[in-house]
Structure 1
Amino acid sequence: METVRYSKFDDGVSLNEITEKNTEGGLNVLTTCVFVVGVIAGSGFLTLPKAIDDSGWIGFLLVFLCCFVSAYTGDILGKCWTIVRERHPEFKNGKVRYPYPAIGNEAYGKWGSAIVSFSINFTMFGTTIVYILLAAENIVKLLPADSKFSCCYISLIIWGVMTPFTWLGTPKDFWGIAAAATLATSTASFILLGAVIHYSTEINISEVKHTHVDIISFFTAYGTICFAYNGHPAFPTFQSDMANPKKFGSALALGYLIVFVVYMPCSIATYVVYGEKIEANILSTVPGGPATTIVSILMTAHLLFGIVIVINPVSQQLEHVINIPEHFTWKRIVSRTLTMLAVLLIVESVPHFSSILSLVGGSTISILAFLCPPLFYLKLCKGNAESEEIFVPLHTKVLLYEIMLIGVTAGVAATYSAITDLAVNKFTVPCYVDVYRACPR
């Protein structure tokens, strides 16, 4: 199907008219939205209430601002990919395995590509670790009290079960997994909200106390909130797999709206009802019962599905570097299995999901979400010897510079806070030294 395509930006200026062939069998707006929700919602649903309590009432403002800014920079990143595709026809076949690094390379050469590649791999690698640890903790809570299975054992089982699913190619090959993850989280959020409201009748809300906020707890919470909207490493991959990539902005806006609706009601309710009693994993706070059990099962399912989604960009990047073919081969099996083995090693060595997600959220997620998209967009819009300059209004420039300044400053503070917390408060022996200890957070 041949379509005449115009690339338009916020300023209303059109680039040159081109003819492009849509990607056959690619993702549509709805399926892309499902992937956006699937890659973002999950750990944030379980960990945001604690982050809000650690940051005080201003945490609600941070949740809203991070949602808005993340959606905006995600759209900016989509525009960057549109510019790169129009300047390089070879990227229009919908099968690019490294779109975000390609944007960095077009903007700032090898350095831009290298920074993006490292940040993506660190972020998605860390996210996979967090998902396995959270899923393991949820499963342990579902087992009988006298069960001898610890998080160490369960993490190993999760690795063995999920690794074969990571052998699937690109997002369009496993859209059903993303749909199941999205449905699981959405359903769980409403059930948990009902449970919290039900149990609130047993608590005198006027006597609920909240955690004293200090600098370390505030910026650690900020890292957790950033992690709750982690999706930028995968966004260009989703857009590249779309049948009509220019509609990515619509899918992104709808996806973030759904995530915000999933996050906020439970976060508000648990903050009001439980206060300083909120645990790092909200399922450890709400009293046990049928509703909590159902939510735990649904969220565990989301986390397991999410493992397949979040590790995929890392796998594709690695396969591009070592020249593994795009079609399914034994080389893909070996490569992706070794990648998951590396994940398992960290899971069994540093089993603290709260500190890991704060570290990742404050460092590389801040780079990928708040620094690179504005920086790359402004550079690409300047044009070069082969392409014309794209006009960017002054108010857009000011907004982008503000996002970069605030994002980097807060990210550095959050990274320092997470490292301090991990080094001082969260040291435990690895799983291979003590396989029976409780699940640390």
Structure 2
Amino acid sequence: MNSLGDKEVKSLDEKHDSKELDGASGSYLEASTTSDDNDFDPEHNLPRNAGFMSAFSNVICIIIGTGCLQIPYAFAKTGWIGVIIIVISAFIGMYTGNLTIKCLYYKPGHRLHSFPDIGQAAFGRIGRYFTLFFNYLYSLGTTCLYLILAGQFINQLLVTLNVDLGKRIWIVICGVVVWIPVVIVKNMSEVAILALFGFLASVVVIIFSVIQSFRFPDINAHHDPAIGVGIPVALSSIVFSFAGTIVYPHVEASMKKPKQWPYVVISAMVVCCSLYVLIGVVGYWAYGTTVKSPILDTIPSGPLTTIAIILITLHVLLAAPIMLMSYFLETERMLNLKKRWKWSIYRTVVVIALTGISCAIPYFSDFLSLIGALATTTMFCIVPIIGYLRLYGWRRVSWYEMLWMAIVLAIGLVGCVWGSIDAIKALVNDVQNDKNH
């Protein structure tokens, strides 16, 4: 294994023995040499021109997207204890979101680029390849989810108008829609307007879903305080709803005032947590254990439901380019694709491949749970903590923070293992049932 991580950690310990770095606090790393007044990031060769609201919009658009639609379904698997799981997940998001950026600045005078760089600095090549795998699985898998959901909703709307092209045809059309901004926009700061519209669309969808749930509740809905057997797979889905960790390095790299990052991630988590609790509690109250994922499949059809479906479709089509941008920025840097025609061709090939995969596995809820269990829990709960401990050393962490880290790691492992098993079983079952019919 590469000894880079060991040498750099030793060097850091020698230079900074007198400085305590509190990983749980919101304070930014003093190790960062990036000034708030800088408007260019030499490490990335990208402009730092994004303000607080731009960064906030990018983060919250990725986080709040499709995840909000399956929160009531997660409650159906866990019972009312799902509220506690949502709150805990929000705190985990605040914590690991800050740890991730701190890991980028572990070496004085230098900023790492991305999650794979953190993996290599901490554990050498093995760490890099491990992080690359889950990083790309999350980025590309989530994009597939967005295409599946958009195609599903468009087909659902147009079937009522006697236009039945089939779900897969609409997934292909959605792939073309996503491809357009992908080959036009170069970096993260340029997609802020897409993020803002996506966030507003999600808020409206949640409000509409809550209103419709109050208007058309199931009077025979059954509720449970807690359902232990359903917690692992539901945990992975809820964690997925708060995850956006892999785009954080690129969002922070675009910020004009990077020291505002802790406030960005905390604000985003508070807003998401509030909206998730709202739609989760109301949706589960209205439909109990019969609620489906996404919840729009449970709510009776009507004008508000139709508007909500249109808006969430718009949101996922806007969020997909943002999710892909993280992947493209990293891989294009590694492949040295600097000329527009080169990265345009590369991005086109990737979008075509993802569209094909999306057509092959159009089972939204099961696919969501599988991606959440495998990639999201790893990148959200596990990698930021073990990377931070490796780079800064466990001696710099207080005992109560170490206890919190252990809890977060346990949650990540439980969600990853049991969630993956349940999700794979459900996915295989759906594929077999589809063939039988």
TM-score normalised to the size of structure 2? 0.86
In the alignment, is the contact (CA less than 8 A) between 1:129 and 1:353 conserved in 2? no
Q: How does 1:328-367 map to 2 (within 5 A)?
A: 329-367=340-378
1:191 is the counterpart of 2:191? no
The superposition leaves residues 229-251 of structure 1 with CA deviations (integer Å, 9 ceiling, x where unpaired) of 12011111111111122221100
Q: Distance in 2 between matches of 1:235 and 1:268?
A: 29
Structure 2 match to 1:401? 406
Are 1:370 and 2:381 an aligned pair? yes
Aligned pair 1:178/2:195, yes or no? yes
Distance 1:345 1:16, change over 3 A: closer
Q: Does 2:164 correspond to 1:148? A: yes
1:157 to 173, 177, 190: 173
Secondary structure of 1:147 counterpart: coil
Matched-pair contact (CA < 8 Å) for 1:222–1:358: no
Once residues 79 and 131 of structure 1 are traced to their aligned partners in structure 2, the CA distance between those partners, rounded to angstroms, is: 30
Deviation at 1:330, TM superposition (A): 0.8
Q: 2:140 aligns with which of 107, 110, 125?
A: 125
Is contact 1:239-1:245 (8 Å) kept? yes
For the residues of structure 2 that align with 1:317 and 1:7, how far apart are their CA atoms?
31
Using the alignment, how far apart are the partners of 1:69 and 1:152 within structure 2?
A: 36
CA distance in 2, matches of 1:349, 1:45: 24
- For the 8 Å contact 1:135–1:303, the answer to whether it is kept is yes
What is the SS of the residue equivalent to 2:194?
helix
> For 1:103 and 1:183, how far apart are their aligned partners in 2?
33
Identity %: 23
- Which residue does the alignment assign to 1:26? 49
Query: Which whole-Å deviations, capped at 9, do the CAs of 1:261-320 have from their partners, x for residues lacking one?
Result: 222212111101111221221111111111111111111111110111111122222212
Quick one: structure 1 residues 19 and 266, their matched pair in 2 at CA, closer, same or farther if it must change by over 3 Å? closer
Alpha-carbon RMSD across the aligned residues, in angstroms, is 2.7
Q: 1:427 to 1:245 in 2, by over 3 A?
A: farther
Letter in 2 for 1:107: A
Deviation at 1:406, TM superposition (A): 3.0
What SS does structure 2 have at the residue aligned with 1:22? coil
Match of 1:136 among 151, 165, 177: 151
Cα distance change on mapping 1:336 and 1:78 into 2, 3 Å: same
Deviation at 1:391, TM superposition (A): 2.8
Report the counterpart of residue 166 of structure 1 in structure 2: 182
CA distance in 2, matches of 1:14, 1:296: 42
Determine if the alignment matches structure 1 residue 255 to structure 2 residue 268. yes
Q: Which residue of 1 aligns with 2:120?
A: 105
Deviations 1:131-163 (A, max 9, x none): 111111111222142222211110011111221
How much has 1:218 moved relative to structure 2? 3.6
Letter in 1 for 2:51: N
Task: Tell me the CA shift for residue 26 of structure 1.
Answer: 2.1
Distance between the aligned counterparts of 1:57 and 1:26, measured in 2?
43
Is the CA contact 1:7–1:14 (under 8 Å) kept in the aligned structure 2?
A: no
What SS does the aligned partner of 1:209 have? coil
Q: Which amino acid aligns with 2:388?
A: Y
Matched, 1:70 2:81: no
1:419 aligns with 2:424: yes
- For 2:342 and 2:414, locate their aligned partners in 1 and report how far apart those are by CA, in whole Å: 42
Q: Deviations over 1:94-116 (max 9, x none)?
A: xx7x4211122222222222111
What number of residue pairs does the alignment pair up?
407
Match of 1:291 among 284, 288, 304: 304
Aligned to 2:397: 392
The one-letter amino acid of 2:190's match is D
Instruction: Supply the distance in 1 between the matched residues of 2:231 and 2:402 (Cα, whole angstroms).
Output: 29
Indicate the residue corresponding to 2:12 in structure 1.
Answer: none
Are residues 15 and 242 of structure 1, via their aligned partners in 2, closer, same or farther at CA, if it must alter by over 3 Å? closer
Q: Which runs of 5+ in 1 are unaligned?
A: 1-5, 383-388
Task: Report what 2:11 is aligned to.
Answer: none
TM-score by length of 1: 0.85
Please name the residue that 1:227 is paired with: 240
Q: Which residue of 2 aligns with 1:36?
A: 59
Q: CA deviation at 1:426?
A: 3.9
Q: 8 Å contact 1:349–1:429 — kept in the other structure?
A: no
DSSP-derived class of the 2:432 partner: coil
Q: Return the alpha-carbon distance in structure 2 between the equivalents of residues 368 and 13 of structure 1.
A: 21
Tell me whether 1:46 sits opposite 2:69 in the alignment.
yes
Q: 1:71 touches 1:252 (CA, 8 Å); kept in 2? A: yes
